[in-house]
Structure 1
Amino acid sequence: MRYITKDGVDYFYVEDIEKNFEYFMFNGGEIIYIDNIPLIDSKYVVKLTEFDLNMKKVLNFKPMKKDK
């Protein structure tokens, strides 16, 4: 994932986090813009745990419909 450092703070590109949204989550209210590029402070980006990923699968589960 791409990132830049400004004033000693690492910022991730929001676009890259959204592409990897399956594994990461972030608070959208903390987005800043530098040169019209949406960035987010690395402290607001959280890597999902295995439990979180499994819960996401369970909550998004849609059983297949049987033909009648």
Structure 2
Amino acid sequence: MTVNHASVLSANYFDAYFNLVIKSRDFTIYEAKEFIIQHFFKGDLHLYGEDTYKNFTLVYDKLIEKY
């Protein structure tokens, strides 16, 4: 997935990404979070900026409440 480093990735982006990872790999929410951190963020949650990081954590927190 190509990402423009100059833009902020939205909560909707991460919602779709979490769902894709969970369904395609049959992961739990926690497993999906760890996968995304390692493969998308390359282990650095601030790689794409503070706002993108906040949107990622916002979606993760909502998914934890949902399940």
Q: Would you call these one fold, judging by a TM-score over 0.5?
A: no
TM-score by length of 2: 0.27
> Which structure features the higher share of helix residues?
2
> Which structure features the higher share of strand residues?
1
Q: Which has the larger radius of gyration?
A: 1
Structure with more contact order per residue of length (Cα contacts < 8 Å, sep ≥ 6): 2
